[in-house]
Structure 1
Amino acid sequence: MVSNKVSSHDTLVNVSQVENHEEVIDLLELFKSVLKYIKLIIVLCILFGVGGFFGTKLLIAPTYTASTSIYLTPQISESGSLDYNSQMANSKLVTNAVNLLTQDNIMSEVAKDVGLDSASSVKNVVSVSNESNTEIITISATTTDPKLSKDIANDTVSTFIRTMQKNLNVRNIEVVDKAKLSYVPSGPNVKKNTLLATMVGFVLGCGYATLRFLFDNRLRTKEEAEKYLGIPVFCEIPEL
């Protein structure tokens, strides 16, 4: 009984080893199949990379970003000290200011000042961020016109400060740095787009080679015939 168990166990081990060996052979064959199309893959990478480079340069308009920052100064108590309640109130004011900066009433005023159609057209190009653990808020505007970007960023801040002072009597907002005119494009990223396009060409080339391998059912060599049929090949006719 013991010998039977051992032999059956050996048989299972041998079968699993054969299956693992066959899986390794399949992966090697797939790799070899991909290598057969290495020239095609290289050509696709070059074509897509060149297309991504010139497409970004010629078809995508450059964008310009202008940024300005405001600082919400903490309220000082009558004794001249900064208490905990004042700090908490100022932190909440910072959170509210980030949301209020892009409200429709602010954006509508900015649209009128800079000559845009609607509040949504301004809101789409404005981004507001708050540096963690600070009372500094950064307002950025990105458009295809550097002067328009500067005007939107500065006018958003001035309109916001004016509205807060008039409606909520908040007077502890200071402009840290006004947006400046810059003719250096902030986008698009030519290197990133070129690399992405090259990767697309590489994936397409490898995908084509893999599909050709998966759908190719022909037996090309004696070894493939023996593996598929499970019987030895005694002779083969040479190609004439």
Structure 2
Amino acid sequence: MSTNNDGTKWNQDTNDEVEIDLLEIWQVIKKNFFSLFFLLFIFATGAGLITKFILTPTYSSSSTIFLTPYIDESGYIDYTSQNSNERLIYNVMALLVQDNVLAEVTKQVGVDSIKTVRDSLEITNESDTTLIKVEATTEDPKLSKKIVNATVQVFIDTMQENLNLKNIEIVNPAKLSYVPSGPNLKKNILIGAAMGFVLDGLIVLIKVLTNNRLKSKEEAEKYLNLPVYCELPVIKE
């Protein structure tokens, strides 16, 4: 609290309403445009360089298995078995990554642990089908292929031996690909640019909120509780 020359008192506390002037924000952006743009450019470029030269590329390989329905002697599909297969989809997806299956896969491909195999695998189901996609992603394209083929074959053998389940077929075996599946360069550049944009916005907002200058006659009268008798115009050369 402070006392003016005429004996009146005024109090500017934290309860004053904070008003953000869009024009003021635009002026801050214009004034700092190049520095803000440079910051955004740095973040996007940095994300791209890290992705390109620091992050290790990964390689994916996949195979698809199909739960085939029963076909009768006349060549017609037994829709009861088809419906049964659809209900079994999520069970099959869960069984694919059980320890007994992955333990054998780990032994066949020669990796150090079951966790390594499990972390590399992604099991998905194509919507409204009984097709299950088994995909492995590692830093070695040959290892990715080995994991997928071993997982599918060990699973089929286990199901046939333990549950006498013989209606699982391999639609397409895993193939070797030397084209990296990740990291995604364009995606990471966009993420870097987005981070730069957010930081730019925070900088502008902080500059606006911390600018405590009185910018108009109305603000002077409001905060000083004194009448303004004259204003000096801004003269631009």
* Alignment TM class, shorter chain as reference: 0.7 to 0.9
Residues 225 and 233, structure 1, Cα contact 8 Å, conserved in 2: no
Match status 1:203 vs 2:206: no
TM (norm. structure 1) is 0.81
Alignment of 1:56-67 (within 5 A): 56-67=51-62
Residues 75 and 90, structure 1, Cα contact 8 Å, conserved in 2: no
The total of aligned residue pairs comes to 213
The CA RMSD over aligned residues, in Å, is 2.2
Alignment of 1:83-232 (within 5 A): 83-219=78-214, 224-230=215-221, 231-232=227-228
C-alpha offsets along residues 6-52 of structure 1, whole Å, 9 cap, x if unaligned?
Answer: xxxxxxxxxxxxxxxx96x8221122222221111111011111101
Gaps of 5+ in 1: 1-21
Residues 160 and 166, structure 2, Cα contact 8 Å, conserved in 1: yes
- Give the superposition deviation at 1:81: 4.1
Residues 98 and 129, structure 1, Cα contact 8 Å, conserved in 2: yes
**Which secondary structure state, in structure 2, belongs to the residue aligned with residue 128 of structure 1?**
strand
Aligned to 1:234: 230
Quick one: distance in 2 between partners of 1:235 and 1:160? Answer: 85
C-alpha offsets along residues 197-231 of structure 1, whole Å, 9 cap, x if unaligned?
Answer: 11211221221121011111123xxxx24121234
Query: What amino acid is aligned across from residue 219 of structure 2 in structure 1?
Result: Y
Query: What amino acid is aligned across from residue 226 of structure 1 in structure 2?
Result: K
Taking structure 1 as reference, are residues 92 and 225 closer, same or farther at Cα in structure 2, changes over 3 Å only? Answer: closer
Quick one: distance in 1 between partners of 2:229 and 2:26? Answer: 26
Residues 121 and 135, structure 2, Cα contact 8 Å, conserved in 1: yes
Quick one: distance in 2 between partners of 1:173 and 1:50? Answer: 48
- Pick which of 188-197 and 75-84 moved more: 75-84
C-alpha offsets along residues 110-140 of structure 1, whole Å, 9 cap, x if unaligned?
Answer: 1111111221211111011111221211100
Taking structure 1 as reference, are residues 235 and 83 closer, same or farther at Cα in structure 2, changes over 3 Å only? Answer: closer
Aligned to 2:33: 38
Residues 65 and 170, structure 2, Cα contact 8 Å, conserved in 1: yes
Taking structure 1 as reference, are residues 238 and 97 closer, same or farther at Cα in structure 2, changes over 3 Å only? Answer: closer
C-alpha offsets along residues 63-119 of structure 1, whole Å, 9 cap, x if unaligned?
Answer: 101000111111234675433432222223333211110111111111111111221
Quick one: distance in 1 between partners of 2:80 and 2:186? Answer: 49
